Amino acid sequence: MANQGIGRFTETNVKSALARKQLQPILQECDWGDYFLYALYPQQEALPSRTRLLLEMIADSFAS
């Protein structure tokens, strides 16, 4: 990852790279606004239960 540039990531996505010091946080004083997460899936009459459970788990984890 070294010398690859600047990116905007959630801490969840880069937690292990931060721990290994492969990434350096910058511009922490800036307000980057809200993150939005969308799930895209084919139009169906009903979602499979495992898909609905996954979406609910993701929504719950971001609600706190």
Percent pLDDT > 90 in the chain is 0
> Could you tell me the residue ranges of all domains in the chain?
34-64
| pLDDT-based confidence at residue 1 (cuts at 50, 70, 90) | low
- In this prediction, residues 4-16 reach a mean pLDDT of 78
pLDDT surpassing 80 at residue 18: yes
Q: What average pLDDT does this structure show over 9-19?
A: 82
Render 1-64 in DSSP notation, one character per residue: -TT-------HHHHHHHHHTT-S----TTS--------------SS--HHHHHHHHHHHHHHH-
What pTM was computed for the model?
A: 0.40
